[in-house]
């Protein structure tokens, strides 16, 4: 029977990379493939099993797609993830996925290594999803921009862009009135988890940030951002703030709205589906220019911290992306 839009051929996917503190090879693979409940109980990130087990029986898994190959930085991790997430093939090296799959997930949140990790797959013409943050230096971000300009198919985002708790307010922001101040609390570190607060708030403000200042002390950083519209944004990054992670406050002339994110499964599910739709149709879930500005904000925050909490001009930083030093 011929393939058609209703019955697309299955996408074969590779899950590449795993670093300490990030369980996406477990979670993303399970959301796509389904999972072995008993083996997933041994996952070192217990929250993953909790939100998988909370789904209706038999509902976890995506039609027309499968993670067929995995490679992790520590081979021992792949030997645990593969059976728990029903992945049939463990790779000896990442590049062995080329010719075996239709698309690749780079499942690491170390933005300093993503150019090197993605390069062989980009050069092979494979679509690539890169875990947040895409890049944390101007030079690396230039490389991704050049690849996109030359036709590479790549996406990167925070899963919280797709959090269902924002749906109602994005569809009807009238309870806020005109925006004045937004805040989102995140945890761990600015480099890895700042994007989890930035990207959802960016959906309300849109592009056009003018500056960022990052105040820092051990265990706590606070980013202060200004948008050209006059909206102010603050993002506390509390190293051990996991219990309050995903708390957002949005305030406008009509009043405040508080949002607490809880549905991690749906956010990741939507994120993965958006990439698979992009692979099949070329339709982006958001303009790549927005991803560039978000990375510029992360890079600006790093520069601000390194330069004694100097306020960094974002348009000036964006201009550097178009000029080789």
Range of the domain at 217: 165-262+294-320
Q: Is residue 234 part of a domain?
A: yes
- Distance (Å, rounded) from C-alpha 213 to C-alpha 87? 43
Strand partners, 259: 248
At 190, list the tokens. 């600015």
How high is the pLDDT of residue 7? Answer: 73
* Shared-domain flag, residues 48 and 124: yes
8 Å CB contact between 32 and 65: yes
Is the pTM higher than 0.85? yes
Q: Is residue 4 part of a domain?
A: no
- Distance (Å, rounded) from C-alpha 198 to C-alpha 225? 10
Which residues of the chain carry a pLDDT beneath 50? 1-2, 325
How high is the pLDDT of residue 4? Answer: 57
8 Å CB contact between 237 and 223: yes
* Shared-domain flag, residues 222 and 101: no
How high is the pLDDT of residue 325? Answer: 42
How high is the pLDDT of residue 1? Answer: 42
Q: Is residue 36 part of a domain?
A: yes
Torsion (CA) 15, 35, 55, 274 in degrees, nearest 10: 20
What residues contact residue 272 under an 8 Å CB cut-off, 6+ apart? 28, 31, 32, 62
- Distance (Å, rounded) from C-alpha 216 to C-alpha 223? 9
How high is the pLDDT of residue 324? Answer: 54
* Shared-domain flag, residues 154 and 131: yes
How high is the pLDDT of residue 244? Answer: 95
8 Å CB contact between 12 and 101: yes
The enclosing domain of 235 has a CATH number of: 3.30.360.10
* Shared-domain flag, residues 26 and 78: yes
How high is the pLDDT of residue 9? Answer: 79
* Residue position matching structure tokens 């030093």: 325
At 123, list the tokens. 């050069």
């Amino acid at each position: 029977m011929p393939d058609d839009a209703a019955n697309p051929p299955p996408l074969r996917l590779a899950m590449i990379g795993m670093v300490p503190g990030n369980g996406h090879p477990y979670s993303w693979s399970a959301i796509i493939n389904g999972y072995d409940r008993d083996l997933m109980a041994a996952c070192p990130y217990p929250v993953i099993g909790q939100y998988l087990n909370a789904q209706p029986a038999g509902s976890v898994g995506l039609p027309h797609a499968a993670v067929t190959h995995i490679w992790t930085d520590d081979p021992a991790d792949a030997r645990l993830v593969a059976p728990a997430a029903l992945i049939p093939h463990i790779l000896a090296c990442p590049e062995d996925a080329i010719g075996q799959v239709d698309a690749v997930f780079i499942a690491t949140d170390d933005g300093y290594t993503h150019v090197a990790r993605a390069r062989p797959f980009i050069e092979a013409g494979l679509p690539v999803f890169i875990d947040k943050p895409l890049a944390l230096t101007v030079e690396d971000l230039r490389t991704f921009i050049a690849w996109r300009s030359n036709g590479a198919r790549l996406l990167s985002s925070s899963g919280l862009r797709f959090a269902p708790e924002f749906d109602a307010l994005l569809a009807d922001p009238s309870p806020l009135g005109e925006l004045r101040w937004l805040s989102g609390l995140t945890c761990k570190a600015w480099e890895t988890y700042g994007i989890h607060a930035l990207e959802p708030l960016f959906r309300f403000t849109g592009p056009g940030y003018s500056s960022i200042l990052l105040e820092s002390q051990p265990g706590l950083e606070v980013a202060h951002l200004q948008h050209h519209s006059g909206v102010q944004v603050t993002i506390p990054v509390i190293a051990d703030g996991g219990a309050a992670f995903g708390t957002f406050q949005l305030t406008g002339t009509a009043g405040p709205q508080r949002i607490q994110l809880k549905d991690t499964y749906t956010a990741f599910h939507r994120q993965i589906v958006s990439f698979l739709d992009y692979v099949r149709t070329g339709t982006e879930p958001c303009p790549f220019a927005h991803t560039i500005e978000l990375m510029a904000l992360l890079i600006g925050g790093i520069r601000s911290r390194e330069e004694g909490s100097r306020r960094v001009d974002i348009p000036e930083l964006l201009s550097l992306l178009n000029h080789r030093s």
